[in-house]
Structure 1
Amino acid sequence: MTDARSVELRDALARVEERIVAACSASGRDRGDVQLVVVTKFFPVEDVRRLLALGVTDVAENKAQEASAKLERLTADERAALTVHFVGQLQTNKARQVAAWADVVHTVDRARLVAALDRGAEQAGRDLDVLLQVDLDAPGEADEQGHADGGHRASGSRGGAPADGIPALADEVGRAEHLELRGVMAVAPRGGDPERAFAALARVADGVRSAHPRATLVSAGMSGDLEQAVAHGATHLRVGSAILGPRPAPR
C-alpha cells in the first residue's frame, strides 16, 4: 500500500526510530538490542498490512477477541512475517484463546493464569513465550485474590504482580511444560517518575534473570517514556499513539 495513510505511518515510524537511536546513543546501547513493538490495538487490519510493508515485524494487541478476528484476516504469509505480542490484562477464561495465536504474552501476573496459558498452549500444540508483569505501584505481597479475574486492582494500578511476588511466579512458569519464561514487563505508574519506575523494573529483571538465565527480555516504555525505558535496559518498546495516532472512534 502506498496511500496517504502509508505515508503517514512511514513518517511516524521514522520519527520514533530517530528517538530510539538517540536514546540508545545516549545510554551507550546498541540499537540492535532494542525491538520496537507497534501497538495496533483498536486499529484495523489494513494498518497492520501497511506496517508490514514498511518493515515492521512486531505488533501488539490487548483484546483477545478483537485480535483473533484481526489476525484471521491476514494471509498465511502475512501472519508468518509477524511476531504478535499480547499486552492486555488477561482473564483466565480467555487464556486458551490467546495461547492459540499469540507469540508472546507480556502480562502474566498470577499462578492461575500461568496454569491456564499452559493448558491453552498444550491444546494448541505449541509452546508460548511469556513475560511477567510487575506492578510498580504495589509494594506489598502478591495477592491472588486481589488479582482475581474480573476483580478491581488498586486505584492507579497499571496491572501486574507486586515485585516481591515475582520470584515465586517465575518459578511457577519454569515448571510449566508449554511456557517459556522470557523476562519481565511493566508500565510506568500514572503521574510517577518513569526513571525511578524503570530503574526498579531493572532490579526485578536482574533478579529473575539470575534464577532463569533465558529470561533476558525487558518490555518497558511507550510513546511518552521510551527514552527512560531504553536508559534502564528495555529490550522491547511498546509504542502505539506516536506511530498510529489517536485511537479511532468506536464504530
Structure 2
Amino acid sequence: MLNMNKVAGINVDRVQTIIADTCKNANRDKGEITIVGVTKYTDANGIISCVEAGINDIGENKAQDAIAKIDELPLNHKRNIKWHFIGHLQTNKVKYIVPHFSLIHSLDRLSLAKEINKQAIKLDITVECLIQVNVSGEQTKYGVAINEALEFARNLEQYERIKIVGLMTMAPYFNDPELARPVFSRLRCLKEEIAQLSLANYDMKHLSMGMSNDFVVAIEEGATIVRLGSILFNNN
C-alpha cells in the first residue's frame, strides 16, 4: 500500500495537469486557480501530506474538527497553511474560526456577518469572506437565495471589518458534470452584477466553485478557487 505522502503527491500532480490543460483550452492562466485541499475526511497527517505535496490552501467544514487538527500540526506546517472555512458556520463557533482562518467561504446571513464583524473588532483585524449563494435552489443546501443576493450584498456594507472578495456556491451532484455548467455560469454573472454596484469593502475577485466531480467545468466558467477532496486523497 502506498503511504499518504506518495498518494497525495501523485494525485496533486494529476490534478495540476488537468487544471493546466483546462486553462489552456479556456484561454485562462493556470496561475489564477487556487486548489483548496478539503480535509474533511482526513486527519492532521493527511493535511501534512497535502502541504508537502504542494497544496498550502486547506479547507475545513467543521469548526471543532478544524481546531483539533490545527492543534495537532507541527509549527513549521502551520506557518505554511492558508486555512479556508468552507462549511456552514454557526454563530457560536465564529470566535474559534476568525483567529485562524484566512478566508470564510460561507457567509450567508446577516446574523453571521454581525458576529464575524464583532470578533474581528476584538482582534483588530479585517476578515475576508465569500458570500455563499444557493444558485440551484436546493433546500438541502445553505446559501443566500439567488434572487436575494444583491440586497444581501448591499446590507453587508455596514460591517466595516468584513471584506467581501467574491462568491461561493455548491452545484448539485450530477453524473455528467456538464449539467452543472448553468449553476457556475449564473454565479459568474452574479459576481459581475455585484462588482458593478461598487460597494464599500468589496473586491470581487474570487469565484469558489467546483469540487472533485465538476471542477473542470467550473474552471471553464470562471472559477478561481476549486475545493477538492476525494480526487486528492483517494488511495485507489
Q: 1:238 corresponds to which residue?
A: 227
Which runs of at least 4 in structure 1 moved beyond 4 Å after TM superposition? none
- Displacement of 1:214 in angstroms is 1.1
| TM-score normalised by structure 2 residue count | 0.90
List per-residue Cα deviations over 1:74-101 (Å, max 9, x = no partner): 2443222111000001112212221121
* Aligned residue type for 1:120: Q
- Displacement of 1:168 in angstroms is 2.3
Q: 1:208 corresponds to which residue?
A: 194
Unaligned runs of 5+ in 1: 139-153, 247-251
Q: Does 1:217 align with 2:206?
A: yes
Residue number among 131, 138, 142 corresponding to 1:159 in the alignment:
142
Q: 1:105 corresponds to which residue?
A: 104
Aligned partners of 2:153, 2:75: CA distance in 1, in Å? 33
Q: Within 5 Å, give how 1:175-214 maps onto structure 2.
A: 175-191=158-174, 193-211=179-197, 212=199, 214=203
List per-residue Cα deviations over 1:142-172 (Å, max 9, x = no partner): xxxxxxxxxxxx64x3221011221222223
**Secondary structure in 2 matching 1:102:** coil
Q: 2:157 corresponds to which residue?
A: 174
**Secondary structure in 1 matching 2:196:** helix
- Displacement of 1:62 in angstroms is 0.4
* Aligned residue type for 1:233: G
**Secondary structure in 2 matching 1:215:** strand
Asked if the contact 1:114/1:172 (under 8 Å) is kept, the reply is: no
Unaligned runs of 5+ in 2: none
- Displacement of 1:56 in angstroms is 1.4
* Aligned residue type for 1:172: N
Q: Within 5 Å, give how 1:40-79 maps onto structure 2.
A: 40-79=39-78
**Secondary structure in 2 matching 1:20:** helix
Percent identical: 26
* Aligned residue type for 1:31: K
Q: 2:81 corresponds to which residue?
A: 82
Asked if the contact 1:223/1:240 (under 8 Å) is kept, the reply is: yes
Aligned partners of 2:102, 2:155: CA distance in 1, in Å? 19
- Displacement of 1:208 in angstroms is 1.7
Q: 2:32 corresponds to which residue?
A: 33
What is the root-mean-square deviation in Å for CA atoms of aligned residues?
1.7
**Secondary structure in 1 matching 2:88:** coil
Aligned partners of 1:216, 1:185: CA distance in 2, in Å? 12
Aligned partners of 1:224, 1:190: CA distance in 2, in Å? 8
Question: Does 39-48 or 103-112 show the bigger shift?
Answer: 39-48
Q: 1:17 corresponds to which residue?
A: 16
Aligned partners of 1:175, 1:189: CA distance in 2, in Å? 32
* Aligned residue type for 1:206: E
| TM-score normalised by structure 1 residue count | 0.85
List per-residue Cα deviations over 1:146-199 (Å, max 9, x = no partner): xxxxxxxx64x3221011221222223332122111000001124482111111
Number of aligned residue pairs: 228
* Aligned residue type for 2:144: A
Asked if the contact 1:134/1:163 (under 8 Å) is kept, the reply is: yes
